[in-house]
Structure 1
Amino acid sequence: MQTVPRTSLIIYLKHMKHERQVRKFGHIVSTNRQQRYVVMYINEQEADQIVGKLIKLKYVKHIEGSPYKYLEKVYEKEQHEIS
Protein backbone atom coordinates (compact mmCIF):
# COMPACT_ATOMS: atom_id res chain seq x y z
CA MET A 1 0.00 0.00 0.00
CA GLN A 2 1.45 3.34 -1.04
CA THR A 3 0.82 6.60 0.74
CA VAL A 4 -0.43 9.47 -1.36
CA PRO A 5 1.31 12.80 -0.68
CA ARG A 6 -1.25 15.26 0.63
CA THR A 7 -1.25 18.92 1.47
CA SER A 8 -3.37 21.05 3.74
CA LEU A 9 -5.46 24.05 2.70
CA ILE A 10 -7.11 26.67 4.87
CA ILE A 11 -10.21 27.96 3.09
CA TYR A 12 -11.93 31.11 4.36
CA LEU A 13 -15.65 31.23 3.54
CA LYS A 14 -18.16 34.08 3.47
CA HIS A 15 -20.75 31.90 5.27
CA MET A 16 -20.33 28.55 6.97
CA LYS A 17 -23.46 27.19 5.28
CA HIS A 18 -21.23 26.61 2.22
CA GLU A 19 -19.11 24.08 4.11
CA ARG A 20 -21.08 21.24 2.51
CA GLN A 21 -20.25 22.37 -1.02
CA VAL A 22 -16.53 22.53 -0.18
CA ARG A 23 -16.53 18.93 1.11
CA LYS A 24 -16.49 17.44 -2.38
CA PHE A 25 -12.99 18.83 -3.04
CA GLY A 26 -11.18 16.98 -0.23
CA HIS A 27 -11.22 15.69 3.33
CA ILE A 28 -12.22 18.28 5.95
CA VAL A 29 -10.17 17.99 9.12
CA SER A 30 -11.56 20.86 11.17
CA THR A 31 -13.78 23.90 10.95
CA ASN A 32 -14.04 27.14 12.87
CA ARG A 33 -17.49 28.69 12.73
CA GLN A 34 -16.52 31.89 14.50
CA GLN A 35 -13.67 32.79 12.13
CA ARG A 36 -15.40 31.02 9.19
CA TYR A 37 -12.66 28.78 7.88
CA VAL A 38 -12.24 25.13 6.96
CA VAL A 39 -9.01 23.10 7.13
CA MET A 40 -8.91 20.42 4.46
CA TYR A 41 -6.50 17.83 3.08
CA ILE A 42 -6.22 17.30 -0.67
CA ASN A 43 -3.95 15.22 -2.88
CA GLU A 44 -0.77 17.12 -3.73
CA GLN A 45 -0.90 16.22 -7.44
CA GLU A 46 -4.37 17.73 -7.85
CA ALA A 47 -3.70 20.78 -5.66
CA ASP A 48 -3.37 23.34 -8.48
CA GLN A 49 -6.58 22.22 -10.17
CA ILE A 50 -8.56 22.17 -6.91
CA VAL A 51 -7.32 25.60 -5.80
CA GLY A 52 -8.25 27.00 -9.21
CA LYS A 53 -11.78 25.63 -8.87
CA LEU A 54 -12.14 26.87 -5.30
CA ILE A 55 -11.01 30.42 -6.11
CA LYS A 56 -13.73 30.69 -8.76
CA LEU A 57 -16.47 29.98 -6.21
CA LYS A 58 -18.19 33.16 -5.05
CA TYR A 59 -18.49 32.07 -1.41
CA VAL A 60 -14.72 31.52 -0.97
CA LYS A 61 -12.93 34.63 0.34
CA HIS A 62 -9.32 33.47 0.61
CA ILE A 63 -7.24 30.29 0.43
CA GLU A 64 -3.96 29.65 2.24
CA GLY A 65 -1.66 26.71 1.65
CA SER A 66 0.07 24.77 4.37
CA PRO A 67 3.51 26.12 5.32
CA TYR A 68 4.63 22.65 6.49
CA LYS A 69 6.70 21.74 3.45
CA TYR A 70 8.66 25.00 3.74
CA LEU A 71 9.56 24.51 7.41
CA GLU A 72 13.00 23.32 8.38
CA LYS A 73 12.68 19.76 9.68
CA VAL A 74 16.32 19.02 10.54
CA TYR A 75 17.82 21.31 13.13
CA GLU A 76 21.48 21.93 13.83
CA LYS A 77 22.60 21.87 17.42
CA GLU A 78 22.74 25.27 19.00
CA GLN A 79 26.08 26.59 20.19
CA HIS A 80 25.26 26.37 23.91
CA GLU A 81 24.32 22.66 23.57
CA ILE A 82 27.67 21.72 21.98
CA SER A 83 29.86 22.84 24.90
Structure 2
Amino acid sequence: MIVKRQGLVVWFHQMKHVKHIKKFGHMVHVSKKLKYAMIYVNQDQMDDTYQKLIKLPFVTKIEPSYKPFIKTDYEQKVFDKEEKEYDYKMGI
Protein backbone atom coordinates (compact mmCIF):
# COMPACT_ATOMS: atom_id res chain seq x y z
CA MET A 1 0.00 0.00 0.00
CA ILE A 2 1.39 3.36 -1.03
CA VAL A 3 1.00 6.13 1.54
CA LYS A 4 0.52 9.67 0.23
CA ARG A 5 3.16 12.01 1.60
CA GLN A 6 3.67 15.75 1.60
CA GLY A 7 6.74 17.87 2.16
CA LEU A 8 7.18 20.52 4.82
CA VAL A 9 9.92 23.14 4.87
CA VAL A 10 10.69 23.98 8.49
CA TRP A 11 12.67 27.15 9.19
CA PHE A 12 14.51 27.29 12.55
CA HIS A 13 16.96 29.42 14.55
CA GLN A 14 19.92 27.12 15.22
CA MET A 15 21.32 23.88 13.78
CA LYS A 16 21.25 22.14 17.15
CA HIS A 17 17.46 21.76 16.82
CA VAL A 18 17.67 19.54 13.73
CA LYS A 19 17.66 16.37 15.85
CA HIS A 20 14.36 17.39 17.41
CA ILE A 21 12.76 18.19 14.03
CA LYS A 22 13.88 14.82 12.64
CA LYS A 23 11.43 13.05 15.00
CA PHE A 24 8.40 14.49 13.17
CA GLY A 25 9.01 12.94 9.76
CA HIS A 26 11.48 11.68 7.19
CA MET A 27 14.18 14.34 6.84
CA VAL A 28 15.47 14.75 3.29
CA HIS A 29 17.58 17.90 3.31
CA VAL A 30 19.03 20.40 5.80
CA SER A 31 20.54 23.74 4.84
CA LYS A 32 23.13 24.98 7.31
CA LYS A 33 23.45 28.39 5.68
CA LEU A 34 19.76 29.22 5.35
CA LYS A 35 18.69 27.21 8.43
CA TYR A 36 15.81 25.16 7.11
CA ALA A 37 14.98 21.47 6.91
CA MET A 38 12.86 19.60 4.36
CA ILE A 39 10.84 16.77 5.88
CA TYR A 40 8.18 14.45 4.47
CA VAL A 41 5.13 13.44 6.53
CA ASN A 42 2.02 11.37 5.79
CA GLN A 43 -0.69 13.51 4.23
CA ASP A 44 -3.35 12.38 6.69
CA GLN A 45 -1.12 13.40 9.64
CA MET A 46 0.11 16.65 8.11
CA ASP A 47 -2.23 18.98 10.03
CA ASP A 48 -1.31 17.45 13.39
CA THR A 49 2.40 17.56 12.59
CA TYR A 50 2.12 21.16 11.40
CA GLN A 51 0.44 22.23 14.66
CA LYS A 52 3.04 20.42 16.79
CA LEU A 53 5.96 21.95 14.88
CA ILE A 54 4.62 25.51 14.89
CA LYS A 55 4.32 25.41 18.70
CA LEU A 56 8.04 24.70 19.12
CA PRO A 57 9.94 27.81 20.29
CA PHE A 58 12.84 27.44 17.84
CA VAL A 59 10.67 27.14 14.68
CA THR A 60 10.24 30.45 12.84
CA LYS A 61 7.89 29.34 10.05
CA ILE A 62 6.67 26.30 8.14
CA GLU A 63 5.86 26.11 4.44
CA PRO A 64 3.91 23.12 3.06
CA SER A 65 4.73 21.72 -0.35
CA TYR A 66 1.99 22.00 -2.97
CA LYS A 67 3.37 19.24 -5.20
CA PRO A 68 0.60 16.68 -4.42
CA PHE A 69 -2.00 19.17 -5.65
CA ILE A 70 -0.31 20.10 -8.95
CA LYS A 71 -1.34 18.31 -12.13
CA THR A 72 1.58 16.17 -13.36
CA ASP A 73 -0.06 14.49 -16.37
CA TYR A 74 1.38 16.12 -19.47
CA GLU A 75 0.18 15.88 -23.04
CA GLN A 76 2.56 15.12 -25.86
CA LYS A 77 3.23 17.75 -28.44
CA VAL A 78 1.50 16.90 -31.72
CA PHE A 79 3.82 17.19 -34.73
CA ASP A 80 2.55 18.11 -38.17
CA LYS A 81 3.08 15.44 -40.83
CA GLU A 82 4.00 18.16 -43.31
CA GLU A 83 6.84 19.40 -41.16
CA LYS A 84 9.86 20.07 -43.31
CA GLU A 85 12.90 17.87 -43.19
CA TYR A 86 15.91 19.97 -42.39
CA ASP A 87 18.91 19.70 -44.68
CA TYR A 88 21.85 20.08 -42.32
CA LYS A 89 24.41 19.85 -45.14
CA MET A 90 23.06 22.92 -46.86
CA GLY A 91 25.67 25.62 -47.29
CA ILE A 92 28.67 23.34 -46.86
Fold similarity call, TM over 0.5: yes
Give, as a single letter, the amino acid of the residue that structure 2 aligns with 1:51: Y
> How far apart are residue 77 of structure 1 and its match?
5.3
Letter of the 2:21 counterpart:
V
Equivalences for 1:43-54 in 2 at 5 Å? 43-54=42-53
| Partner SS for 1:46 | helix
The one-letter code matched in structure 2 to 1:37 is Y
1:73 offset after TM fit, Å?
A: 1.2
Name the structure where helix makes up a greater proportion of residues. 1
Please give the alpha-carbon distance, in whole angstroms, between the structure 2 residues aligned to 1:70 and 1:44. Answer: 11
Using structure 2 for the length normalisation, give the TM-score.
0.78
Instruction: Please give the alpha-carbon distance, in whole angstroms, between the structure 1 residues aligned to 2:79 and 2:29.
Output: 41
Please name the residue that 1:29 is paired with.
Answer: 28
Instruction: Tell me whether 1:17 sits opposite 2:8 in the alignment.
Output: no
TM-score normalised over the length of structure 1: 0.86
Where 2:23 maps in the other structure, the secondary structure is helix
| Correspondence list, 1:1-83, <5 A | 2-76=1-75, 81=78, 83=80
Task: Name the % identity.
Answer: 32
Report the secondary structure of 1:7's partner residue: strand
Q: CA deviation at 1:44?
A: 0.9
Unaligned runs of 5+ in 2: 81-92
